[in-house]
Amino acid sequence: MSPEANVKLVLKYFDGCNTGDIEHLKSTLEDDVVHYFLPQVHRPIRGSDHLARYWRKFKQVYQPTWKIDHTLASGNEVVSEWSCAYTQPSTGDRLIFRGTEWYVITQGQIAEVRAYYHYDESRDCQLNGFPYADRRYLAK
């Protein structure tokens, strides 16, 4: 696939994360996809069914709004910078965290995701002083 087609696939995957639709998510993923997380509390998630169910549960618990703010693509890899506004179930507060991910695409589906982000349940997690609103990034 072309780099442009790979970006469209990643955008479709994020649409699935926003809806929590398992079949939609699975349509973007290799059967043996692996999603790696930077925070040590998250073990890798292996398999399209497991990953799709993870994002459905995340949707149900946190009511997130995901947005890809920026992408770069080359060959079979895509890098995204994303934002996620979510509701903290324990307080009802709407918070935001941001990160970046690397995707490896094979045979028109996502085979690997490497997620780099910081998350803290008690506060927003984003770059200090960055002009998010001026650049039309997702807001809460």
- Check residues 80 and 127 and name the one with the higher pLDDT: 80
**pTM score, two decimals?**
0.89
Nearest to 113 by CA among 99, 125, 98: 99
Output the pLDDT for position 126.
79
Q: How confident is the model at residue 130 (pLDDT cuts 50, 70, 90)?
A: confident
User: Which residues on adjacent β-strands are paired with residue 78?
Assistant: 73, 103
CA distance 115 to 39: 9
Would the pLDDT of 119 be above 80?
Answer: no
The per-residue pLDDT for range 7-23, each reduced to its tens digit, is: 999 999 999 999 999 99
Sheet containing 29-37: which strands, arranged edge to edge?
Answer: 45-46, 29-37, 109-117, 94-106, 77-87, 65-74
> If pLDDT is split at 50, 70 and 90, which confidence band does 38 have?
confident
